[in-house]
A = this chain, B = another copy of it.
Amino acid sequence: MFRKLLIANRGEIAVRVIRACRELGIRTVAVYSEADRHALHVRLADEAFCIGPPPAAESYLNIPNIMSTAELLGVDAIHPGYGFHAENPHFSEICQDVNIAFVGPSPEAIALMGNKAAARQRMKAAGVPVVPGSNGPVRNEAEAIEVSKTIGFPLIVKAAAGGGGRGMRVVHTREDLRRALQTAQAEAEAAFGSGEVYLEKYVEEPRHIEIQILADTSKNTLYLGARDCSIQRRHQKLLEESPPPGLRERYLGALGKAAVRAAHAINYTGAGTIEFLMDRDSRFYFMEMNTRIQVEHPVTEMITGLDIVKMQIAVAAKEKLGINQGDVHYSGHAIECRINAEDPRQDFRPSPGTLTAFVPPGGPGVRVDTHAYAGYVIPPYYDSLLAKVIAWGADRPEAIARMRRALMEFEISGVPTTIPFHLMVLDNAFFRRGEVYTNFVQRRIDLSVLTPRLTAVRD
């Protein structure tokens, strides 16, 4: 096992990794920007080193300063968390070059999955169902029209290097195809430096279902159940749950096996997630793979009792997983709500500020992952995720009731948060019946009637 690990990240995920390391007996090195001097990950780590000024580009993305810190403090592993350099194959390669273990897959696996069109082709070859679409990038209108004849309308134009909804266009008729192609190419070029786009059948009202996998270097690859992340807003996940409501066991098995095939096809090691779209008839299609730990990993931890981050670190240290697929058992239902410092009444505008009060919820079945505390000043430089509340219940209704009471008792003053939004979702009749799809928020939630706080406090 490693002796000393550097966390090239901040916020709740840095705290999460420190927790795992402390349980494994690994010393930790936190790096931080000048804006994070009082951050919890800095206070909890065994050592901490300032690596730059507030802007992420000059600190958390500053590879020379991160690598210098790693060498100066003699670490033998680096955990990238999520975001920042987590899916940068170059960063993973540099770690390899200086003989520091990168807690993640090989540069090749990261690079392959980073190119959506290449990933799609590899998955198709491996027998993982993909959405019918173009065979690689399409260069011009003529090619696109040719493809549309096979897959039909509606279809979607997507950036090969894309993500987060940029460089994406839904096309409903042949007439709209050319313009959509041009706009998507221009957007992709601007956002990712590559104008490559490809076409896919547009799955209407799909659910976002993903499979957590974990693979060691001895080719033992496990799937740890499925998560439903359909509650999104502009492709940003807001609420995740496991198991997906109403998903039958045989579909879970099929999804899991497909995910394991996907991982094997690219010699994957470590923790990863295969994201699928699922249509109304429970047909599923490979969407993309995230080659890192994900924000929503706790829901899987809650229903399996496994510590994914500890296992991820162990396999990076070339240890075997120690369990087989048959040892993975599921119990109950878990939901995660992302509490962002955003104002849901103001189009989810990020709202940095000082937390004048911060009393997290507790009690049975409630887990909180956060880097915040009373008095913490949220810097304006980074993402707005403030805390993750995860509620476990023996069944979905209990998990919902528990999440509701946890959010009602969560006291945060100083900044607006997404708590009122989540309470609205939890109280929604369609959500309660498990009728979720990726455009649920647009269709079912009227943000204009959000109250400042559906509060638990006596009126």
Residues of chain A whose beta carbon lies under 8 Å from any beta carbon of chain B: 15-16, 19, 22-25, 40, 43-48, 298, 301, 305-307, 309, 331-332, 357-360, 362-370, 373-375, 392, 394, 398, 401-402, 404-405, 408-409, 411, 456-458
The CA of A360 and the CA of B15, in the complex, are separated in Å by 13
The CA of A25 and the CA of B411, in the complex, are separated in Å by 20
The copy count of this chain in the complex is 2
CB–CB B458/A48 < 8 A? yes
For chain A, what secondary structure do more than half of its interface residues adopt (helix, strand, loop), or is it mixed?
A: mixed
The CA of A326 and the CA of B19, in the complex, are separated in Å by 36
Which B residues are CB-close (under 8 A) to A394? 305-306
Taking a contact as CB atoms closer than 8 A, the residue among B24, B301, B374, B408 that contacts A373 in the complex is B374
Q: How far is the CB of A429 from chain B (nearest CB, A)?
A: 16
Q: Please, which residue of chain B has its CB at the minimum distance from the CB of A366?
A: B367
CB–CB A332/B305 < 8 A? yes
Which B residues are CB-close (under 8 A) to A331? 305, 331
Which B residues are CB-close (under 8 A) to A22? 401, 404-405, 408-409, 456
Q: How far is the CB of A75 from chain B (nearest CB, A)?
A: 15
CB–CB A362/B360 < 8 A? yes
CB–CB A19/B363 < 8 A? yes
Q: How far is the CB of A76 from chain B (nearest CB, A)?
A: 19
Q: Please, which residue of chain B has its CB at the minimum distance from the CB of A397?
A: B23
Taking a contact as CB atoms closer than 8 A, the residue among B16, B48, B375 that contacts A363 in the complex is B16
Q: Please, which residue of chain B has its CB at the minimum distance from the CB of A307?
A: B364
Listed from nearest, the 8 A-B pairs whose CB atoms lie closest are: A374-B374, A22-B405, A19-B363, A362-B368, A23-B401, A359-B373, A23-B405, A301-B364
CB–CB B360/A19 < 8 A? no
Which B residues are CB-close (under 8 A) to A402? 23
CB–CB A458/B47 < 8 A? yes
Which B residues are CB-close (under 8 A) to A25? 401
Could you show 29 A-B contacts with beta carbons less than 8 Å apart? Answer: A16-B363, A19-B364, A22-B401, A22-B404, A22-B405, A22-B409, A23-B401, A24-B401, A40-B359, A43-B457, A44-B409, A298-B364, A305-B392, A305-B394, A306-B394, A307-B364, A307-B365, A309-B364, A331-B331, A357-B373, A358-B374, A359-B374, A362-B367, A362-B368, A362-B369, A362-B370, A363-B367, A367-B367, A374-B374
CB–CB A363/B369 < 8 A? yes
Which B residues are CB-close (under 8 A) to A358? 374
Taking a contact as CB atoms closer than 8 A, the residue among B44, B306, B398 that contacts A23 in the complex is B398
- Residue of A23, A48, A360 with most chain B CB atoms under a 10 A cut-off: A23
Q: How far is the CB of A393 from chain B (nearest CB, A)?
A: 9
Which B residues are CB-close (under 8 A) to A298? 364
Q: Please, which residue of chain B has its CB at the minimum distance from the CB of A406?
A: B19
Which B residues are CB-close (under 8 A) to A44? 409, 456-457
Q: How far is the CB of A23 from chain B (nearest CB, A)?
A: 4
Q: How far is the CB of A242 from chain B (nearest CB, A)?
A: 14
Q: Please, which residue of chain B has its CB at the minimum distance from the CB of A374?
A: B374
CB–CB B360/A360 < 8 A? yes
